[in-house]
Amino acid sequence: MSTMVDLEDLVNIHMASVLPDSAVKKIRSAPHTSEAFFVFCEALTKSSIYGLFMFLIGLRSNKQEHLFHVFCTEEFCKELLAILD
């Protein structure tokens, strides 16, 4: 259940200005965590934030996490990546 809280926080606090309103509403109305996560991922693939995710994953896999702050705050980047773990 904590994943849903994290996803809700991410959508409510950070993603509302990035994702279209229809995607945010769809994520919020999804009845189960897995369905909400699926809708979230689907919305990301249609947005430029997907590129940021892929880039952050690349930085992390190359042990370059210290560069997160160039693209977003380190805390926010870690929150984004935590959802994928």
- 58-72 mean pLDDT: 77
- Distant-in-sequence, close-in-space partners of 22: CB < 8 Å, separation ≥ 6: none
Q: 47 phi and psi, to 5 degrees? A: -125, 165
- Distant-in-sequence, close-in-space partners of 31: CB < 8 Å, separation ≥ 6: none
The winner for highest mean pLDDT among 9-13, 16-20, 66-70 is: 66-70
Length of the chain: 85
pLDDT, tens digit, 9 for 90 and up, residues 22-63: 878 887 787 777 787 788 777 777 777 777 777 777 877 888
Instruction: Read off the amino acid at residue 35.
Output: E
Cα distances from 31 to residues 5, 21, 34, in angstroms, run: 13, 18, 9
**pTM to 2 decimals?**
0.43
